Amino acid sequence: MSTDTGTTEVVPDVFVRPAGARDTRAPAPAAVRIEGVSQLFERGRPAVLDGVDLTVEEGEFVCLVGASGCGKSTLLNLMAGLLEPTAGQVEVSAKRPALMFQEPALLPWLTAAGNVELALRARGVGKAGRRAEALRLLRLVNLEGQETKRVHELSGGMRQRVALARSLAQDSSVLLMDEPFAALDAITRDVLHQELTRVWAEQRLSVVFVTHNVREAARLGTRVVLMGSRPGRIVREWKVTFPQPRTIEDSGVSALATEITQELHKEISRHGH
């Protein structure tokens, strides 16, 4: 990767494949496979998604970016099984993928550990093992010592860490994240980027991460997928091979974010957002 300051050129560390180009590599095991998916919510209205094909390989960290209303969250909800596609197929290797939203949605009358234990209980973990597992997961997201605090005693970043631990409590190999850090300040978000990439690597997860923040996508993803609008479809993708850990200030992250932003602006101009 070029380290020239201020460069906007993305070189060998990033592989770009235009939409529609055929990938001739042998297929890898898929964590998520989406084939020909379309989504229509009302008759007579334009489709939200049309003919979407996307494969997420095991262990990938795929970031979905695009303009508001392009169907990113709809696609994530299809992966989560919260919606049924109007047409096409959605296959997820995990029996029940874990899902994390922008809002942590913690129960305020429970402690941090209690919120995680609730997810373990729903999974069928016995009472004897729930406490120990909740404490382990809170340590995993660097919340050791915060187990007995209630929601109002936790900062925004801590609440999102508890939400991440609760998602991990579902014991799924596939983690779906819908703009989980959008409401956080820049410093807290930066810390959580580090934590998330560490947990992703340690737990060997397959992650699909929806974001409006192009630089966030360039920092986190092993692949960045750009969605177009009206109807939602995949128009371009970038396979990112420069290693983690990365920082938001890295020249490679900056260069890739610049290129993705330019393509996003073209899509926005094309559809009059």
Residues 91 and 186 in one domain: yes
SS3 107: coil
Residue 14, in any domain of the structure: no
pLDDT above 90: residue 270:
no
pLDDT of residue 20: 53
Residues 47 and 156 in one domain: no
Strand-pair partners of 34: 54, 90
Phi, psi of 87 (to 5 degrees): -150, 155
Residues 93 and 180 in one domain: yes
Residue 9, in any domain of the structure: no
pLDDT above 70: residue 14:
no
Distance of alpha carbon 42 from alpha carbon 44, whole angstroms: 6
Share of the chain above pLDDT 90, in %: 79
Residue 15, in any domain of the structure: no
- Domain of residue 199: give its range: 28-97+173-273
More confident residue, 46 or 40: 40
Distance of alpha carbon 12 from alpha carbon 194, whole angstroms: 24
pLDDT above 80: residue 1:
no
Q: What is the pTM of this model?
A: 0.88
For 40, the token pair is: 């229509």
pLDDT above 90: residue 237:
yes
CB 61 within 8 Å of CB 200: yes
Domain count, the chain: 2
Residue 1, in any domain of the structure: no
Residues 154 and 178 in one domain: no
Which of 150, 171, 192 marks a domain boundary? 171
Residue 12, in any domain of the structure: no
